[in-house]
Structure formats: C-alpha cells, structure tokens
Amino acid sequence: MPEEMPRELWRRYQPVSAQWQGRVAGIFIAPNSADEMISLSRVRAFADRGLEGDRFFRDSWSAVNRSDKAVSLIEEEVLQLAAKEVGVESIGKLSRRNIVTRAVPLIELLGREFTVGTVRMRGIRLFEPCGHLVQVSKLPGIFKALEHRSGLKAAVVRDGEIRIGDAVVLVENS
C-alpha cells in the first residue's frame, strides 16, 4: 500500500463543534481512468469492491491487498477553498473523488468505521493529489491547492446505497 500522509501535515476542515453532523454533498464516478467524472444523485456500493460503475469497481480489492482503492472522499469545505485558490467556481468534478462530504472532518474517520447512507466503510488512509489528477483535470494549480488535504481513501465494509443528503456517521468504538 502507498505511504500514508502524516496526520500532522493534514490541512482540513475544522468543525465548530466536536459533535459534527455531516452529510453527502456530492457523488461522482468515472467509468474509465481518464473519463470525466459523472455526477450522480445516488450510487450502490459493494463490500470489498467499491462503487458500481466507477473505474475502481472490481471483483476484490483485498485480494490484491489494496482495500484503500475502493472509494475516495473529500471535504466540500476544502474544495471551496481550493477552487478559490485556483480561481474557478467549483472543482468538485475535477477533484476525481467519489464522495464529497459537508461538515465532516475526514481525519476523524481515519482508521475507524463509519456509515454513509446505508453503506458501512472504514477509513484507510489520507492521501495526496497525484500526477494523473493534474493531467486529467487540466486545471493549473490543482495539485498545490489540494496538497495535504486531498481526501480519505476508504474500504467498503458493508453493501448499501449512498444518496445526496445522506448522513455520514462515525460508528462508535470502531
């Protein structure tokens, strides 16, 4: 598995309360690696496989020891700051992330289980933007804008469905 980004470098959303109540603000998939991201109102997720229709949907991620590849999440608040930094209105689709969250401090999900809609996930690792993101987005400055705050990779633990507006809830004692 790729090296994890150190927690202390993470530039993240800071909730105003320790009792945050987050939601799904956006859902995106791309059928193939270089395809444009498609915005959805809902998506089905399958344990150990990922999101139906996405480029990272496969038979088994654990079979190749890469459960971190199934789903990616990013904070809407980070996307808003990054868009402002690069001078565009929105970069949700360009971020190449599957689930955009609102009012969810993703660092708190690292190494823990949580639900998104009826799907149970486990936060695997924080990650940085990559060269592929820069190449496919064609957006100058996106790498720097998302550096140290590019999102959370997660494994799907239990099948279910994710819809825009669904709650993101930390599973206690996980």
Is residue 11 situated within a structural domain? no
CATH assignment at residue 138: 2.40.33.20
Mean pLDDT for the chain overall: 87
Edge-to-edge strand list for the sheet holding 50-51:
50-51, 42-46, 160-163
Is residue 46 situated within a structural domain? yes
Judge if pTM exceeds 0.95.
Answer: no
Tokens of 69: 């590849």
Instruction: Tell me how far CA of residue 117 lies from CA of 13, 23, 74, 162, in angstroms.
Output: 21, 9, 16, 5
SS (H, E, C) 73-91: EEEHHHHHHHHHHHCCCCC
Residue 130: per-residue pLDDT: 78
Is residue 74 situated within a structural domain? yes
Is residue 67 situated within a structural domain? yes
Residue 127: per-residue pLDDT: 85
Cβ burial of 117 (10 Å; 0-12, 13-18, 19+) is buried
DSSP code string of 90-155: --TGGGT-SEEEES--GGGGBTSEEEETTEEEEEEEE----HHHHHHH--TTHHHHHTT-S-EEEE
Q: 26 lies in which domain range?
A: 18-170
Residue 1: per-residue pLDDT: 47
Is residue 7 situated within a structural domain? no
Is residue 13 situated within a structural domain? no
Q: What is the CA radius of gyration of the chain?
A: 15
* Closest among 71, 80, 150, 76 to 115, alpha carbons compared: 71
Residue 18: per-residue pLDDT: 63
Average pLDDT, consecutive stretches of 10 residues, N- to C-terminus, the chain (174 residues): 60 65 96 91 96 91 79 95 91 88 94 97 89 77 86 96 97 80
Domains in the chain, number: 1
